[in-house]
Amino acid sequence: MSAPRIVVTGIGWVTPLGTGIDEVWNQLLASASGMAPITRFDASTFPTTFAAEVRNYNVDHFVANPSAHANAGLNSAYALGAAVQAWRCAGFDKSPPRNMRRVGLYLGAGEGVLDSAHFFETNISSWDTSSQRCDGRRWIQAALQKLSAKCEVEQEPNMPLAHIAHELGIKGPSSNCLTACAASTQALGEAFSILRRGDTDVMMAGGTHTMIHPLGVTGFNRLTALSTFKGDPTKASRPFSIDRDGFVMGEGSGMIVLETLDHALARGANILGEVVGYGSSADAFRITDIQPDGRGAAAAMTQALSQAEIDPHALRGDGRAPIDYISAHGTGTKENDSIETTAVKRVFGEQAPRIPMSSIKGMMGHLIAAAGAVEFITCILAIRDGMLPPTINYDRPDPELDLDYVPNVARKTPVDVCLSNSFGFGGQNDTVIVRRFEK
């Protein structure tokens, strides 16, 4: 018996460029940027003073009973907004699934490490920005005075799951993975696998994260992963450019409703795409470095292509490359962009230069655990509209990176098959492939 086909019927996101599906998509196609000076805390003495913050967001606009989520941290608040959008997009707000035990959740939700940056804002005397050290005893004393028990619970990474399940009535399998920047792509892939096993009929999958607080910014500064650009913040993220110097911290959430084709057809759902492949691998290399020859990333892509029954070296009948678009991890760090390019060449060989590949992180920053889900949504919309989002700030090409990065301006082109990559600290590599749905 063949595995069931798995389709996409709902999408939703909360991003630094807004919350509406088409609102954000239109900004991506217009090469807009969500980068600006940090407002959550005084970052004036930090090496990086800018980020891509979610602005003017109120979770109460998305939920039926705001008091039920009164203690939600930002991770949970963003997840709720994206999940409710995706649920509505799938049509489940008007006609929910009959058996909610057959509806599951799988998220890549980042650790809730004190996303309540007001601790630092209201107790800044405990934070020595000149040396980037914190007086732990004073900080803990301040935290104990400020925190309630419910706020402590909100730091647990599974809390977004709990809030979504409560809001939507989801009662099936509920899981969360913490695989850094690959988390929400892994969540999508694992949700896809759960559906193919027949354990559920519907899965809500995606990710949520925020690390725009002193601990998050300091940590990535010390890892030399964040851009320290000194000019216009909108120019700071420069994926694949020779002068790239790191990523810009973003935040937000992306959620996707997946379901078996039979379930979707039986209820007359609007099908947005079909997930056809998932690959996952580990570099087994250094904790913070990618395997230099790209073998781990290539293994994830190869596994996904094999599952999708796509030959990476063969042209399709109409002469097109085997994939129409790669949504790159494309962080803008020296190592990532170079190694991802190497991995794509390793997998696709002579076809690699024919495949457009762009990174939206130049526009909305790196959403860490939520990045993969948001980038997957751009693949769905690229298929819908036949448009590819650009890699902005691509003004100084790196001669060693010679693929088609869709520079600066969105591109109109036929799009039927997309591949989305996510790579995380620790050597986690995940790839998902989605194609236009055809009966």
DSSP annotation string for 196-235: HHTS-SEEEEEEEE---SHHHHHHHHHTT-B----S-GGG
- How far is CA 318 from each of CA 287, 305, 348, 433, rounded to the nearest angstrom? 43, 19, 18, 20
Cα–Cα nearest to 383, from 333, 337, 436: 436
Give the largest Cα separation in the chain, rounded. Answer: 67
Write the Ramachandran bin of 414: left for phi over 0, alpha for psi from -120 to 50, otherwise beta: beta
Please pick, among 181, 213, 263, 418, the residue that the annotation labels catalytic: 181
Integer Cα distance of 389 and 370 in angstroms: 18
Q: What is the CA angle 62-161-119, rounded to 5? A: 80
Query: Is 181 among the catalytic positions?
Result: yes
Token couple for 312: 């990476």
Q: Measured between alpha carbons, how far is 300 from 383 in angstroms, rounded to an integer?
A: 22
Catalytic residue among 69, 163, 263, 366: 366
Distance set, CA 206 to CA 45, 80, 177, 247, 330 (Å): 34, 11, 10, 21, 19
Q: How far apart are CA 413 and CA 416, in angstroms?
A: 10
Cross-strand bridge partners of residue 10: 257
Antiparallel, parallel or unpaired: β 325-327 and 357-358: parallel
Q: Can you point out the beta strands (E) in 162-306?
A: 174-176, 202-209, 252-260, 273-282
Q: How many CB atoms lie within 10 A of CB 14?
A: 31
* Active-site entry in 177, 329, 379, 418: 329
Active-site annotation holds for 366: yes
Q: What count of Cα atoms within 13 Å lies in the side-chain half-sphere of residue 63? A: 24
Taken as a whole, the chain contains a residue count of: 439
Residues with catalytic function: 181, 329, 366
